[in-house]
Every structure is written in C-alpha cells, then in structure tokens.
Amino acid sequence: MPGTNEIRRHMAAVEQTQKITGAMEMISSNRMRQVMGHIDQNRLYFANIRRMMKELLTSPHETTHPCFLERPRSHNTFLVISGDKSLCGAHNANVLNYTLARLKETPGSALITLGHTAEDFFIAHGIIPDIALLGIVHDPTLAKAREVASELTRLYEDELTDDIRIIYTSFYGDSKGKPVEFRLLPIILHDYDDVSDAESLVEILYHPSPQTVLDMLVPQYTIGLLFGVLVQAYASEHYARMNAMHTSTKNASEMLDGLRTKHNLARQSAITNEMSITAHPQL
C-alpha cells in the first residue's frame, strides 16, 4: 500500500484538477446561458430563411442569379467548423473525422477550416487547408459571418469552385451533437425538399422588380445561413465541454473519496505498526 505522504500528494493533484474542471464547467455553463437567449430566435430564423428561399425558387417570375447556376462539380469546397479549444469530449473529433472521410470520397476538393483544432487536425493528417480562418468560432458575430459569406460567394461567382458545402455540429433535433453537412452554394431547389410549409408567390408584387429583390436577398441569405451554423457550432461546443467537464469533476470527486479511504487505512496501519514497535521494542 502506498504511504500516507504519497497518497496526500495524489489527493492534492486530483483536487487541483477538480478545481480546473469545475471552473471550465462553470465558464461553459455561463456561455451556454448567454447563447441560449438567442438560440430559439436563431432556429426560427434558420427555418424561415430556408422556407423563403424555397418560395423564391418555385416562383413563376423570370429571375436569375449566379448563385442559382448549377455547374459540373469538378471543383468542390468543404468548409468545416470546429472549436478553437479542446476538452469538449468528442465534439471536435466527430466533425473533423466526418470531414476527413468526405475529403477521401471527393479527391481534389478544396478545404476551408474555421477553428484552431481543425487546422491542426488536417495538418497532422498531411492535408494543408487552402484557407484557414481563425478568431471566428469562439465569438460568432453577424459581421464575421458577413466577411466569410462574402468570400465564399466571390469564390463561387469567380468560378474558382463549383460547389460549397458547410460541415458543422448541429444543436437541434435528432442531429443534435452530430456532424451535419449542407450545401451553401449553388442554391438548388431539391436541397429544400424537407421544407413543407412554403407558400406559392404567384400573387406577390415585387418593387422595384423581382430581379432587384433577388439580387439583394441572396447575399443576405448566405450571411444568415452562415451565421446560423456558426451559432449552432458555438452552442454545441460549449454544451459538449460543459458535459465533459461535469463528468470529469464528478470522477475527480469519486477518486478523492477512494483516496481518502486509502489514506485513512494507511494512517491506521502506520499507527498500528508504531504501537506494535513501542509495545515490543525487541521485535
């Protein structure tokens, strides 16, 4: 059995770890509370903007836009959103391994990473991201989403890519906590087959014209979708970290209970040995 000094050092190390994991759980919990104030609105906006785009795609008005033009997919692009930090369970590993598998299925695809862990992961696997964007995922804002969406739209309109897909961790429904992939560009009608509440826009009058409205709407659509997935990924990361740190803190408490029992047994054994030596010095 280890000595009392060794057990005390072990207990001190576990207690320090417990303080760290407890603090990280509290931080993630606070950030979750902050983002939950917006997550319902984000979910509603996410659903409405997809419904609105389906309504426009099925509209009888003669409109066109470069983002509606489906081209042969010879140059595909994947944008993957991971966390900037680890210690969040399998959150980062799940979305990054999913992306790695998709890259193997579509050789020659371009890769854009958001988050330190994504960049480090792919470099470790011998894949250098074509674009690595940092400082976005830990504090998603509409302004940051606008910058990224503008760059992605430029890549598509300049025909530097034919298909842009975003891979992130969902925070909703049956897919919560799992990697989700969807096409950002081009905007294709069959991507909205799951939208069932779209209405007919036959009687809608546009001012100054349907084409002008569409030209203004498409950039806002891409910005809104990208901001939505950034918020979901942010919430998913902190939800996973909160759960992971809660489990670690609980495990540390259980370990401390076991160490205290061992420490008491070691003390009793030492006292018994000391009393035996005192009572029988000749031994």
**Rounded average pLDDT over 170-198:** 83
**Rounded average pLDDT over 151-172:** 90
Task: Return the pLDDT at 61.
Answer: 65
Task: Return the pLDDT at 119.
Answer: 93
Closest CA to 228 of 174, 188, 169: 169
pLDDT in tens, 100-130: 999 999 998 999 999 889 999 999 999 999 9
Q: What is the DSSP letter of 67?
A: G
CA–CA separation, 51 and 225 (whole Å): 12
Average pLDDT, the chain: 82
Higher pLDDT, 188 or 127: 127
CA–CA separation, 78 and 183 (whole Å): 9
CA–CA separation, 179 and 153 (whole Å): 23
Is the pLDDT at 156 greater than 80? The verdict is: yes
**Rounded average pLDDT over 190-214:** 70
CA–CA separation, 175 and 195 (whole Å): 17
Q: How far is CA 10 from CA 14, 18, 27, 171, in A?
A: 6, 12, 26, 38
Q: Place 167 in a pLDDT band, splitting at 50, 70 and 90.
A: very high
Pairing of strands 131-133, 163-169: unpaired
Closest CA to 191 of 180, 199, 183: 183
Q: How many CA atoms lie within 13 A of 251 on its CB side?
A: 8
CA–CA separation, 40 and 126 (whole Å): 39
Is the pLDDT at 72 greater than 70? The verdict is: yes
Is the pLDDT at 280 greater than 70? The verdict is: no
Q: Place 198 in a pLDDT band, splitting at 50, 70 and 90.
A: low
**Rounded average pLDDT over 141-155:** 90
Cα 188 to chain centroid, rounded = 25
pLDDT in tens, 221-267: 888 889 888 988 888 888 888 888 888 888 888 888 887 888 788 77
Task: Return the pLDDT at 181.
Answer: 93
Is the pLDDT at 38 greater than 60? The verdict is: yes
**Rounded average pLDDT over 70-93:** 84
Please state whether 13 falls in left (phi above 0), alpha (psi between -120 and 50) or beta. alpha
Query: Residue-wise over 24-34: b if at least 16 C-beta within 10 A, else e?
Result: bbeebbebbee
Nearest-10 Cα torsion for 198, 210, 184, 193: 20
Is the pLDDT at 60 greater than 80? The verdict is: no
Task: Return the pLDDT at 80.
Answer: 95
Q: Place 139 in a pLDDT band, splitting at 50, 70 and 90.
A: confident
